[in-house]
Amino acid sequence: ENATLVKDEL
Amino acid sequence: MNIFRLCGDMSHLAAIIILLLKMWKTRSVAGISGKSQILFATVFTARYLDLFTSFISIYNTCMKVFFIGTVYFTIYLIYMKFKATYDSNHDSFRVEFLIVPVGGLAFLVNHEFAPLEIIWTFSIYLESVAILPQLFMISKTGEAETITSHYLFALGSYRALYLCNWIYRYYAEGFFDLIAVVAGVVQTILYCDFFYLYITKVMKGKKISLPA
């Protein structure tokens, strides 16, 4: 699930 | 990182630098919407709350600091230093009509009902409509300075390039974030009529003048 994905984009 | 995202970030950087140069060189904020800049400041503040808690890379941190620093400096120029040249009569878009629905939507549609995630979602949704006061102001004044057109072209291109980045990441890494993509598509669509004017006019050395 994207939520756990670290926000690596600006 | 991929070439599309790098070009997108550079386009975003260029837009901010073009805007600052326009203000500093002409010592005027004529034609610039202070409300849009306030919305962008809200977007960056909400999105970069993890600036001090999660370290991605030097590049990521530097860009976040630069974006936040310059947007607040822009607001200072508009509302304080060059306040006399700020055209508040034409910068009359009701931003509450953006913030309330976007805030509500962030609560209803998000990846995870957690504070930081909802705030991040709010910043994504808000960014997609943050340029509306600026476009509205241009439609009211009926024209845009050429340098302002370059600013808008660079700003609109940044999210269009991010769409390419998401397509690339989907096929290369299987990465897909529906919220960011949908908001990015909306944001880019809002620039379409401006892109048309920019390419048909500014590229030929004409000024953009809308039928007021």
Element (H, E) at B153: helix B146-173
Q: What angle do CA B93, B194, B2 make, to 5 degrees?
A: 105
pLDDT computed for residue A2 by the predictor: 46
φ, ψ of residue B133 in degrees (nearest 5): -60, -35
Model ipTM?
0.88
The whole-number average pLDDT for the span B23-46 is 97
Tell me the CB-side half-sphere exposure of residue B120, using CA atoms within 13 A: 24
Cβ-contact B92, B135 below 8 angstroms: no
B71 and B39 Cβ atoms separated by less than 8 Å: no
Spatial CA neighbour of B150 closest among B22, B41, B5: B22
Q: How far apart are the first and last CA of chain A?
A: 19
Stated as kind and residue range, the H or E segment containing B18 is: helix B3-26
CA B58 to chain centre: 22
Q: Among residues B113, B23, B118, B27, which one has the least CA distance to residue B71?
A: B23
pLDDT 10s digits, B151-202: 999 999 999 999 999 999 999 999 999 999 999 999 999 999 999 999 998 8
Count of CB atoms situated within 10 Å of the CB of B93 = 19
User: Does the beta-carbon distance from A8 to B50 stay under 8 Å?
Assistant: no
- Nearest partner of B155 among B168, B138, B171, judged by Cα: B138
CA B80 to chain A, closest CA, distance in angstroms equals: 28
Structure confidence at residue B209 (pLDDT): 85
Q: Reply yes or no on whether the pLDDT at B6 is more than 80.
A: yes
Which chain A residues are Cβ-neighbours of B9 within 8 angstroms? 10
pLDDT in tens, B117-146: 999 999 999 999 999 999 999 999 998 999
Interface test with B, best of A2, A4, A5, A9 (most B CBs within 10 A): A9
Could you give the CA distance from residue B212 to residue B202 in angstroms, rounded to a whole number? Answer: 18
Contacts of B111 (CB under 8 A, 6+ apart): A1, A2, A3, B117, B121, B177, B179
CA distance B102 to A10: 20
Question: In this prediction, what percent of chain B has a pLDDT beyond 90?
Answer: 92
Predicted confidence band at A5 (pLDDT cuts at 50, 70, 90)? low
B153 vs B193: CA distance, rounded Å:
11
Cβ contact A2–B111 (<8 Å) = yes
